[in-house]
Amino acid sequence: MRKIKTPDHFISLPEAVKLNREQVAENHKRYLNSGLAMMLSLLNFDKQFIKAEGIKVWDSDGNLYLDFLGAYGALNLGHNHPRVLAALEQVKEFPNMLQASLGTVVSALAQNIAAITPGDLQRSFFCNSGAEAVEGALKLARAATGRQRIVYCEGSFHGKTMGALSVTGREQYQKAFQPLIPGIVSIPFGDLNALEDKLKDKTAAAFIVEPIQGEAGIILPPAGYLSGARQICAKYNTLLIFDEIQTGLGRTGEMFACRHENVTPDIMCLAKSLGGGVMPVGAFITTDDIWERAYGGMEKARLHTSTFGGNTWAAAAAIATLEVLYEEDLPERARKNGDYLLAGLNRLKENYPLIKEVRGRGLMAGLEFNQPEGFVVKATLGLANKISQEYMGSLIAVELLNKYRIITAYTLNNPNVIRLEPPLQVTREQIDTLLEALDGIFRKHKGFISLAATSAKTIFKSFTKKSS
């Protein structure tokens, strides 16, 4: 067989894993998202990580970090869990994708999902991401009810594909892509009166809601909100969709966050940690009745499909993930260690006025910071001003990363909130390391001005170093 020479500047895999930090940054700036690469480099967030295990990651200089970000809740099992990697080894000779057949491993995964989800949720559709799961859930609701309107909550985050973006509650992400999907209306999160007002004309196909709003800043609903939403949706024959993409699979101290109120939705969306941090897996699951109304029979069976959805490797990773969650009782560990983490954060709040509020449940915690109005950082770079004024969480994240080697990030819809979503195996010793680091930061920086000045220096040093 004739071997064709690879093009010039083509990088082989053995060469790729040997790229240094500067080469990686240059590739991102030239061939990927240059604006994002610039922002991360200014904050010194462009470190090159080359090894990961559990909650620990190592950079190219051999430094050890603790990952308290957990890929936005996708690493409930941590990095490179051996059981998930072993699962891929078990199916390596199976056809991974063969659409002209019924998948063996995915059939087992579907049965397992039905076994662990609440109520009579039974039929699953598998895809590759949370946004795809939301897209599928919205389509299912319209197809099953014959209605068009979808109701969602202000401050929500359900993804950035067109349908998911239409029910995501932040204008900054929507504006460039308008007009979005028609027939979509928003209401305040936690307001049952507003929900009933939008449903009473019986034209809404579904109400989609996160049991805890993640990107809004880890916002818990008022007590009774989820059960109240369940009753109102049932009253007007509107389907209730719970987006458990970030809250599900043990994160909040229950396998699913809706179990804190013992509520069962009509449709549930899953993704993120379902693939064990190794494979991209998303899913929505619904009842037999709703599925049959939307996609029952051969004529409607292929109205909604996915090329990669439910492939063998993804399904195997998901089965192994569910096994580990139960065998290691990770939801209970998340509950106990989450209580420990939140108690520690509240002690810090008592001592430091910079902290506005501590929120969370299980190992899904948010730390919101106070910020003076009208303050402008006297920094050389305009970008430093913007980051310092609007992204208080990033200032804390910069300190945690560069001084204490702890990885965190702010929430997308509220940049003044640091999110803490470590792998569920996190130990109390590691939590103490985080709490001590935060205490050190707040003790050193008594207020916003000191933090902003430190951040501005980091940005300026990064800028001058990368410009030279």
The answer to whether residues 192 and 177 touch, using CB atoms and an 8 Å cutoff, is no
The Cα 229–Cα 226 span in angstroms is 5
Tell me the two tokens of residue 204.
Answer: 């809404």
At residue 221, the pLDDT reads 98
Q: Is the pLDDT of residue 456 over 60?
A: no
pLDDT digits (tens, 9 = 90+) for 268-295: 999 999 999 999 999 999 999 999 999 9
What are the pLDDT digits (tens) for 229-244? Answer: 999 999 999 999 999 9
Q: Which of 272, 284, 369, 442 is catalytic?
A: 272
Q: In this model, does residue 455 exceed pLDDT 70? A: no
Q: DSSP letters along 300-359, please?
A: TTTSS--SSTT-HHHHHHHHHHHHHHHHTTHHHHHHHHHHHHHHHHHHHHHH-TTEEEEE
Q: How many other CB atoms are found less than 10 A from the CB of residue 466?
A: 14
CA-to-CA separations, 151 to 83, 195, 207, 325, 342, in angstroms, rounded: 40, 8, 5, 32, 32
* Residue in 157, 207, 284, 442 annotated catalytic: 157
Report how far Cα 144 is from the mean position of its chain's Cα atoms: 28
In angstroms, rounded to a whole number, what is the distance separating the alpha carbons of residues 76 and 44? 26
What's the pLDDT tens digit per position in 32-91? 999 988 888 877 888 999 999 999 999 999 999 999 999 999 999 999 999 999 999 999
| pLDDT surpasses 50 at 151 | yes
Find tokens 């039905």 and name the residue.
Answer: 114
CATH of 82-327, one of 3.40.640.10, 3.40.920.10, 3.40.50.620, 3.30.1300.10: 3.40.640.10
Catalytic residue among 243, 284, 369, 448: 243
The average pLDDT across 347-364 equals 96
Domain with CATH 3.40.640.10 in the chain: 82-327
Number of neighbouring beta carbons within 10 Å of residue 100: 4
User: 198 falls in which pLDDT band (50, 70, 90)?
Assistant: very high
Q: How far apart, in whole angstroms, are the C-alpha atoms of residue 317 and residue 238? A: 34
Superfamily of domain 330-467: Aspartate Aminotransferase, domain 1 (3.90.1150.10)
Q: Which two tokens stand for residue 355?
A: 């902290």
Amino acid identity for residue 442 in this structure: F
What local confidence, expressed as pLDDT, does residue 43 receive?
76
Banded model confidence at residue 3, pLDDT cuts 50, 70, 90: confident
In this prediction, residue 139 has a pLDDT band, given cuts at 50, 70 and 90, of: very high
Sheet with 406-407, strands from edge to edge, namely 49-53, 56-59, 64-67, 406-407
Domain with CATH 3.90.1150.10 in the chain: 330-467
Predicted pLDDT at 377: 44
pLDDT value for 380: 41
Closest CA to 324 of 275, 284, 360: 275
Active site residue 94: no
Question: Percent of the chain having pLDDT more than 70?
Answer: 90
Catalytic residue status for 465: no
Q: In this structure, what are the phi and psi dihedrals at residue 131, rounded to the nearest 5 degrees? A: -60, -40
Tell me what pLDDT residue 395 has. 84
What letter does residue 213 receive in the DSSP assignment?
Answer: B
Per-residue pLDDT tens digits for 366-404 = 999 987 554 444 444 444 455 554 567 888 898 999 999
pLDDT for position 254: 98
Partners of 325 in the β-ladder: none
Rounded Cα–Cα distance for residues 312 and 107 (Å): 10
pLDDT at position 163 over 70: yes
- Cα three-residue angle 451-454-458, rounded to 5 degrees: 135
Predicted pLDDT at 391: 61
What is the pLDDT, as a whole number, of residue 205?
A: 98
**Mean pLDDT in residue range 435-463:** 70
* Residue 289 designated active-site: no
Write out the DSSP string of 168-186: ---HHHHGGG-S--SSEEE
User: 2-16, 173-187, 315-329, 427-441: lowest mean pLDDT where?
Assistant: 2-16
Q: What is the pLDDT of residue 381?
A: 45
**Which residues, in sequence order, are CB contacts of 194 under 8 Å at separation 6+?**
187, 188
- Rounded distance between C-alpha atoms, residue 334 and residue 17, angstroms: 34
